[in-house]
Structure 1
Amino acid sequence: MPRSLAVKLTCGAEAAERANQALTVAASAVAAGADVSLWLTGEAVWFGVRDRCPDLGLEHASPAATLVEAVRAGGSVTVCSQCAARRSLTEADLVDGARIAGAVAFTELVLRDGVQALVY
C-alpha cells in the first residue's frame, strides 16, 4: 500500500512551473493509489476557489483545474486558514469537498507515521 502524501503548495500563477509540478505530483500520486492531501497556501489558495483556478498556460502541461479536480476526486484539498482570511474566503467559496484548516491540522497530518510531506 502506498504511503500517504501531503503536498503543500505555496505559490500560484506567479511561479507557474513550480505550481504545476506540485499539482502534477499530487494528481499522479492519487492515480497511483496514494492517500493524498493537497494543502494550498499563499497565492496557491486560488487553485481551491470555485471558478477562480488560475490557468498557468504552460505548454506540455495539464491544465491546473484538471489536476486539482483529480486530487479532489481521489484525495483532499485544504486551504490555509490565515491565507483564506486574508483574502476574505470562506468554505462556501471553495471547490466542492475542499476545507479550510490551519497549521495545527497540517502539523498533525505530517507527523503521522507513514506520511511523506513535500513542499513546493
Structure 2
Amino acid sequence: MIKVTAGADAPERCSQAFTVAAVAVASGVEVSLWLTGESSWFALPGRAAEFELPHAAPLPDLIESILAAGRITLCTQCAARREITEKDLIEGVRIAGAQVFVQEALADDAQALVY
C-alpha cells in the first residue's frame, strides 16, 4: 500500500510515490496506491499530463503502468470535497473509503508507505 497525499503542491514527494508504486508493480509486487489530498486530482483524465518535474518519469506513464497490474483508489472524502464522482475518473481508478483502506492495510503481508 502506498498513500500519496501530495500533488503539484509538493512535486518531489508526489513523484516519489508514483515512481515507487510503478517500480513495485514492475517487480511483481501487488500494489494498492491511494490518492488523498492534493493527489486526488490525478484521478481525473488529463490532470497527470499537467504535472511536470525535471528528471522524473512522466506521471501519465507511471499511472498507466500502475493500473496495468495494480490498483489505484481515490479517497471517498477527498473525492467528495473536490466534487469528483466515479464518472469523472480515469478508467480503472475507484473511489473507496477508510473501511477499505483499513482492510487492505491489515491484509497479510501488507506494508504501507505514505508520501
Q: TM-score, normalised by structure 1?
A: 0.92
Q: Which runs of 4+ in 1 moved over 4 A?
A: none
CA deviation string 1:53-106 (max 9, x = no partner): 253321111111111111011101100000000111111111111100001110
User: Residue 88 of structure 2 aligns with which residue?
Assistant: 93
User: Residue 58 of structure 1 aligns with which residue?
Assistant: 53
Q: Give the counterpart of 2:34 among 30, 35, 39.
A: 39
SS at match of 2:46: coil
CA deviation string 1:5-38 (max 9, x = no partner): x100001001000000000000000000011011
Is the CA contact (8 Å cut-off) linking 1:9 and 1:19 kept in structure 2? yes
Give the letter for the 2:80 counterpart: A
Q: How far, CA to CA, are the matches of 2:56 and 2:69 in structure 1?
A: 20
| Length, aligned pairs only | 115
**Structure 1: which 5+ residue stretches go unaligned?**
1-5
Considering fraction of residues, name the structure with more strand: 1
Determine whether 1:116 maps to 2:104: no
Q: How far, CA to CA, are the matches of 2:49 and 2:26 in structure 1?
A: 22
Percent of matched pairs sharing the same residue: 54
Give the letter for the 1:58 counterpart: L
SS at match of 1:116: coil
Q: TM-score, normalised by structure 2?
A: 0.95
Determine whether 1:13 maps to 2:8: yes
**Structure 2: which 5+ residue stretches go unaligned?**
none
Q: How far, CA to CA, are the matches of 2:70 and 2:41 in structure 1?
A: 18
User: Residue 70 of structure 2 aligns with which residue?
Assistant: 75
Cα RMSD (Å): 1.0
